[in-house]
Amino acid sequence: MFRIAAFYRFVELDTFADLRDPLHRVCRENDVVGTVLLAPEGINGTIAGSEDGVVAVLDHIRSVDPRLAEIDVKFSESLEAPFVRLKIRLKKEIVSLGVGAVDTVRSTGQRVPPEDWNSLISDPNIVLIDARNDYEVAVGTFDGAINPATRSFTQFPQWIASRPELADKPRIAMFCTGGIRCEKASAYLKDQGFEDVYQLDGGILRYLETVPEEDSSWNGECYVFDRRVSVGHGLVPGDKEICVNCNRVLGDDDRSRNGYIEGVSCPACADSITESRRARFAERQHQIELARKRGTSHLGSTTHH
């Protein structure tokens, strides 16, 4: 069983570059893998390993700089390794909105705990916005949420500016996977003159972990950026996979249609995939299946649920 920790914290982190090597060493010593971003505006990452290993890494992050003592962490589990390697990167931003500096330390929307979220979004005067990208929204979202249909988070400000119904600065509630994009987007909206801005504290992941399914306003699953692809209520891994050729999210319906070839193509791209890619993916899938028969893991494998 792998313990997974998704975490972030917006904080003025002028010494961010000095944190990389010690953090890399602690992760290696504890067999923890995943991706961590360090930037002047804070830290953002998802890591996986044994429970003790993950705790050791989080304890290190909290202790190495007092400004990181209160990182926001969401835990989940997986039977299979969600990551295959460790990446610790220095960036200009831990999440890019594409508008330059945004004060995410002093001016953000009001955090709403999961247990109060249903009551908030049932208010007819609330405009509910899904701050994620279109391919994520397609996997699942909240009842009544607006989909900005963005391909990347940097398109979000342009979408806000293009919506005439937002010109009067209505009350807005936003949500995203773990809370980090909403926190930055809410700070941007505050800069733009919106006064009543709310964000789901801990994001969809904490909502699915906290709110019983029978009381939930969530439909579908939640896309996650690791080999699980999606999770449902209770953060149980879902039934999705990613097409290796076109990166579409696939479910059972897609796998039952013509054009789906495991590890090669899906119904949406089967007619357009090049022969060289088809051959390369087919050989990789063959090696994955051989590894399965041997009871070993292939680094290029995808996870099916």
Rounded Cα distance, 145 and 44, in Å: 26
Exposure string of 112-150, with b = 16+ CB inside 10 Å and e = fewer, is bebeebbebbeeeebbbbbbbbeebbebbbbeebbebeb
Q: Which of 176, 222, 243, 266 is catalytic?
A: 176
The reply to whether 182 belongs to the active site is: no
Other Cβ atoms within 10 Å of 29 Cβ, number? 12
Residues that are catalytic: 176
